[in-house]
Amino acid sequence: MAKLTINGKDVEAAAGTNLVEAAKQVGVEIPVFCYHPKLSIAAQCRMCLVEVEKMPKLVPACQTPVAEGMVVKTDSERVKTAQAGVMEFLLLNHPVDCPICDQAGECALQDYYMVYDLTGSRSTVGKVHKPKVQDIGGGVVLDSERCVMCSRCVRYFDEITGDAQMGFFNRGDRVEVSIFPDSPLHGEYCGNVVDLCPVGALTWKDFRFKCRVWFLEKAASVCPGCARGCNVTVEHNEGKVFRLKPRDNEAVNQCWMCDEGRASYKFVNEGRLLDPVVREEKKGVTTETLSSQRSEERKAYVKKEEAKAGSREPHTRKAVVVTWERALAVAAEQLVKVVATKGGAAIGVVLSPQATLEDNRAVVRFAADHLGVTAFYMGGRLDGEGDAFLRLADKNPNRAGVLAALEMGAVARGLAARTADDVVADVESGKLSALIVMGNNLPVSPDARARLVSAAARLDAVIVMASNRSELVDAATVALPSATFAEKEGTFVNAMGMHQKLRRGIALVGRALPETQIVQKLAAKMGFDFRPAREASAASPATAAPGAH
Amino acid sequence: MIRVREKYGDRMTALESSYLTETLKGLSITLRHFLENTLTRKNTVTLNYPEEKKPYPERFRGLHRLMKRDDGQVRCVACMCCATVCPAHCIKIEAGEHDDHRIEKFPIEFSIDWLRCVYCGLCVDACPCDAIRMDTGEHPKPQIDRNGFLTTKIDLMKLGGPSVAVQGGVRPDNGEG
Amino acid sequence: MELLLISTLKVILVFAIVLGALSPLAGWAERRQSAMIQDRVGPNRASIGGFRAWGLFHPIADVIKLMTKEDFVPATRNRYLHTAAPMIAFWSAVVTFAVIPFGPWLQIANLDIGVLFIFGIASLGVYGATIAGWASNNKYSLLGALRASAMMLSYEVTLGLTVVGVLICFSTVGAQELVVAQAGPIWNWGIFKQPVAFVLFFVAAMAATKRAPFDLPEGESEIVAGYFLEYSGMKFVMFYMGEYIEMFLWSALATVLFFGGWQIPWVPFEGQTWYEFAGVAKFLAVLVAIAFLQMTVRWTLPRFRYDQVMDLGWKMLLPASIGNVVVTAVVIIATPAGGVLQRVALLVGNAVVVLVALAVAAAMKGENKIGVTTEALRTQRSEEAVH
């Protein structure tokens, strides 16, 4: 430990700590461009120059470790002059095209200009121009003019992913950061350089021109992409998610995130199941009035559903957008009928590792305690690729959560989750005559999925709680719109068994509801006294007589 | 000591309460106005609107217009500064990638809801490109439904003219220095 | 047969004047006049082929609108009386024109009891208002009807008594005879014999037409539209037209009683043809002038309060008109008929009536509605304040 003073404040820091980090401890901000705690020290932007007593020249704070008795000044005239000088150099050839720059609003150059510079240009010669709008691959767009030559991106590929992909080319005021010739960015972690870039030189193609960053609202959440459960911020505006950004968590993802994860918000905005849909068995059944929020899109959807249902089934099954009240009544009626005639064992429940721990727990308790279900299956998404850094093969953020929910709700009866392939087998063998499915689809092969869909037509009830449209949703007798991770609070349990909280970002899309609420409403419709949030009742499961209603 | 003036009950004198003289007084006023206005329109303040118009104040801004580049393209680069500063949230801009890399970003759609607009002019002050101006001196025409007031980029550009401002607009070729 | 033809012709002519010209134009005149008085321009938009004619086409547009308008009736109305009421109001106003002598020849029926006939029929108009208010089954309508009937009954008395003075002067009740009696120099006109009676008649006639400032039966601010609240379309028009026709009726009667009817001063009628036309023109000119005065009053005075209307009617107009009848009768008996002395005495008598009326009004000034003087009230209040 070393004791020193920064701007007159006493600081105690571990040996080896640099002055930037030490100053942070006492709330002193030292401006940096090239310094990043996860990267090696370059000390080439010179923005962090500070004055240390008994040292003849200003020293870069990022490169200077703390020492006993050090007296550091970050706000002296010499330091201010140096900072203003560095800013002037950086801005000498900067195009100042903030109006068309995506970084505007979260740009270090903009922020520091307001604090450390705030003067006009003294230059009387033209600016040096470099190529703009270069697609350098990996979903990254490079604008060489805006670059401040901090080399964070270069060091990132050198040190973090381990495959050098970028470098500096040319010299003097012609220097440019770029990729190697004929070698676009590749790998699964290119997006991190966009986060690292302190200015607008590297921007994310997917987010490009979509929204100005100052419009974005932020919600701390967890990435739904894989079982790693990287901590992310859901950045959204007006009911639409625009991007996911990594959130610091040393135990999970440090400050990184994979490109796959960055794209995992898209299903929140697109292809959503917006209304409860009921497939009526009988011909000429009264068509429920469409919801008050009827839109052309939904009308078209219903029309398509009807056409599909007509082609698939010899007897007319009409897909009708209905009220929640109606949808729950139909679902309750179908379930009661199955329980009364065939018992709870004839019902299969597919749990979803895409849903939260709370949602799964609610479904397990409802099914096991009130319907007498014994057959639980693991839903979610099929496994994909994994690697040694962040990505895991299990593309479900909450598999451990599903298992935990099963233990809490049904372990007393010795229940376990079986695979999704078992669902197909059990449906085809006739063991199951009703399905309650959480999630948009089942993690089975396309062939098995098709077999399930055709077999599902013979079931008495297929109740699907899904956030997005899919062939399974189309095959459901009752499709209930559920909320995605961005629209609800809850917990994901990652592969390491860590419970991580999700915070609600956007408002519920369409008429979707969290599964917990759906189950609660369904149970109320069936006349059960069901409170999913109570932990106490989970400890003493009370079994209701099947078919009591 | 508060002095109270009693006003109850005896407001009118006997002559007044006969209404005779007072009515004649009133009649003289109304008849005078009638004759003056019939003969000379002396006191008439009403304007026959479509034919006669009241001149607007000099500083009246009027409707917005979108300025154009030399080649007739919109100057706006969809920086959203106007939409951000707008207190009425009446500006909707959808940004897009321009084919010309020197322009890079442009508004695919730029609409102003003239019903919502409060004509404060902050968008003009915020604009870094001299792309939006409020100097037409016109006001929105009446419409039969709300959508009629939702004015698109094309209509706004019809009101606009070329602007010669340099900042944020045209820039020299890449690498030419 | 010839008589029938001529009578029909007269009826058509009189109705053309009253219904075809006077009433529609009155609506236009009133709107333009009010605009001028209020420093506005007034209606000028209706045009035929771009020709606006100072808004003269507005009455035509109004008629088209009102005729094509839905006749909206309340479900709980009394079906027959609700329909009959506007007819009564309209009929009573129109029929009275039968005895008005527009000219020496242009009079539909020269009844011996002409003036009495007018009063008899016109007073039936109150049934129109009352029945309309009751049959509409609406509390506002009923209140309006009550106000209308109370006010019209009150002022009908004054109206009748003011006319009595004139009738005493001319010793006849026939309308045509009254006009004939006013031939010769202008001071033979009723107004120079009965000026006070004319003022009283004018005020009472305004009340009888229920026009501002006596329009409290329809008082928009408190009872919406009064007795014709539940009427629309042509039924409403019948009330509306009835009101205008009544205005012209009293103007015509005033012309007959006080302004020599169709007689042109100093020019005796000896059967000349041109005189017949000139007389009608003079009659109509005076009639329109009085109507114009009534309209001007409407745009000058605010509406009376109910108690003010009753005060004015019973405490001012009625005593004055009774006094006028007494004084006139005494003067007519005491002085030789038709002499200068009689004329002067009548004017002096009128002046006496005015002075006495004002003196009485001054004496009653301190008294409020329930008969407690403000002086007593003030004393009582200051005593309360002491305690």
Nearest to A287 by CA among A315, A323, A257: A323
Asked whether residue B169 carries a pLDDT value surpassing 80, the answer given is no
Claim to verify: residue C29 and residue C113 sit in the same structural domain: no
Which chain B positions have a beta carbon within 8 Å of A130's beta carbon?
Answer: 174-175
Claim to verify: residue C27 and residue C77 sit in the same structural domain: no
Determine whether the interchain pair A99/B97 forms a contact, defined as Cβ–Cβ distance below 8 Å: no
Claim to verify: residue C191 and residue C148 sit in the same structural domain: yes
Of the residues C68, C83, C100, which one is the last residue of a structural domain? C68
Give the highest mean pLDDT range of A275-284, A332-341, A451-460: A332-341
| Distance, CA of A320 to chain centre | 32
Asked whether residue A66 carries a pLDDT value surpassing 80, the answer given is yes
Asked whether residue A537 carries a pLDDT value surpassing 60, the answer given is no
Global pTM reads 0.68
Instruction: Provide the residue-wise pLDDT of chain C in tens; the chain has 387 residues.
Output: 778 888 888 888 888 877 777 887 888 888 888 888 888 888 888 888 777 777 888 888 888 888 888 888 888 888 888 889 898 888 888 888 888 888 887 787 888 888 889 888 888 888 888 898 888 888 888 888 888 888 888 888 888 888 888 888 888 888 888 888 888 888 888 888 888 888 889 888 888 888 878 888 887 778 887 888 888 888 888 888 888 888 888 999 999 888 888 888 888 877 788 888 888 888 889 998 999 998 888 888 888 888 888 888 888 888 888 888 888 888 888 887 777 787 888 888 888 887 887 777 667 655 544 444 555 656 666 666 655
Average pLDDT over residues B49-66: 86
Interface test with B, best of A212, A215, A238 (most B CBs within 10 A): A212
- Cβ neighbours of residue B52 closer than 8 Å, sequence gap 6 or more: none
Question: Which residues 77-106 of B are in CB contact (within 8 Å) with A?
Answer: 77-81, 84, 95-97, 101-102, 104-105
CB A6 within 8 A of CB A67: no
pLDDT in tens, C273-299: 888 888 888 888 999 899 999 888 888
Which chain A positions have a beta carbon within 8 Å of B102's beta carbon?
Answer: 132
What is the reported pLDDT for A538? 39
Direct distance between the N- and C-terminal alpha carbons of chain B, in angstroms, rounded to an integer: 88
Determine whether the interchain pair B84/A129 forms a contact, defined as Cβ–Cβ distance below 8 Å: no
Chains A and B touch (3+ CB pairs under 8 A): yes
Interface test with A, best of B105, B106, B109, B129 (most A CBs within 10 A): B105
- Closest CA–CA distance from residue A106 to any residue of chain B (Å): 14
Q: Is B130 on the interface with A (CB under 8 A)?
A: no
Claim to verify: residue C35 and residue C86 sit in the same structural domain: no
What is the reported pLDDT for A511? 92
Chain C positions with Cβ closer than 8 Å to B: 33, 35-41, 44, 199, 296-297, 299-301, 312, 316, 357-359, 361-362, 365-366, 368, 374, 377-378
CB A422 within 8 A of CB A377: yes
The closest CB to that of B46, out of C41, C199, C312, belongs to C41
pLDDT in tens, A160-179: 999 999 999 999 889 999 99
- Closest CA–CA distance from residue B141 to any residue of chain C (Å): 21
Chains C and A touch (3+ CB pairs under 8 A): no
Claim to verify: residue C3 and residue C140 sit in the same structural domain: no
- DSSP-assigned letters across all residues of C15-44: HIIIIIIIHHHHHHHHHHHHHHHTT-----
What is the reported pLDDT for A306? 59
Claim to verify: residue C200 and residue C270 sit in the same structural domain: yes
What is the reported pLDDT for A107? 95
Determine whether the interchain pair B43/C40 forms a contact, defined as Cβ–Cβ distance below 8 Å: no
Claim to verify: residue C110 and residue C171 sit in the same structural domain: yes
Claim to verify: residue C168 and residue C265 sit in the same structural domain: yes
Buried b (16+ CB within 10 A) or exposed e, C46-79: eeeeeeeeebbbbbeebeeebeeeeeebeeebee
Can you tell me the distance from the alpha carbon of A502 to that of C116, in angstroms, rounded to the nearest whole number?
Answer: 96
How many CB atoms sit inside 10 A of residue A217's CB? 13
Q: Is A300 on the interface with B (CB under 8 A)?
A: no
What is the reported pLDDT for A142? 95
Taking CA atoms, what residue in A is nearest to B82?
A: A99
Domain count across chain C = 2
- Cβ neighbours of residue A133 closer than 8 Å, sequence gap 6 or more: A141, A143, B101, B104
Rg of the Cα atoms in chain B: 29
pLDDT in tens, C185-230: 888 888 888 888 888 898 888 888 888 788 888 877 788 878 888 8
What is the reported pLDDT for A287? 37
pLDDT in tens, A368-422: 888 888 889 999 999 999 999 999 999 999 999 998 888 775 555 566 778 888 8
Of the residues C68, C84, C115, which one is the last residue of a structural domain? C68
**pLDDT exceeding 70 applies to what percent of chain B?**
83
Residues A160, A162, A163, A165, CA torsion sign:
positive
Claim to verify: residue C111 and residue C19 sit in the same structural domain: no
Kindly tell me the number of DSSP H helices and DSSP E strands found in chain B.
5, 5
Asked whether residue A39 carries a pLDDT value surpassing 50, the answer given is yes
SS3 label, residue B95: strand
SS3 label, residue A417: strand
Can you tell me the distance from the alpha carbon of A503 to that of A491, in angstroms, rounded to the nearest whole number?
Answer: 9
- Closest CA–CA distance from residue A270 to any residue of chain B (Å): 18
Claim to verify: residue C156 and residue C199 sit in the same structural domain: yes
Asked whether residue A222 carries a pLDDT value surpassing 90, the answer given is yes
pLDDT in tens, C222-255: 888 788 888 888 888 888 888 888 888 899 999 9
pLDDT in tens, A291-311: 333 455 556 666 666 565 554
Claim to verify: residue C23 and residue C147 sit in the same structural domain: no
Determine whether the interchain pair C357/B18 forms a contact, defined as Cβ–Cβ distance below 8 Å: yes
Q: Which domain holds residue C229?
A: 72-386
Taking CA atoms, what residue in C is nearest to B5?
A: C378
pLDDT in tens, B63-121: 899 999 888 889 999 999 999 999 999 999 999 999 888 888 999 999 999 999 999 99
Of the residues C25, C45, C68, which one is the last residue of a structural domain? C68
Model ipTM? Answer: 0.77
Average pLDDT over residues A245-256: 94
Average pLDDT over residues A101-107: 93
Nearest to A497 by CA among A389, A383, A358, A398: A398
Q: What is the DSSP letter of A163?
A: S
Round the average pLDDT of chain A to a whole number and report it: 87
Q: Is B172 on the interface with A (CB under 8 A)?
A: yes
Can you tell me the distance from the alpha carbon of C237 to that of C218, in angstroms, rounded to the nearest whole number?
Answer: 15
**pLDDT exceeding 90 applies to what percent of chain B?**
28
Q: What is the DSSP letter of C107?
A: -
Claim to verify: residue C279 and residue C373 sit in the same structural domain: yes
Cis previous bond, C213, omega within 30: yes
Average pLDDT over residues A489-511: 93
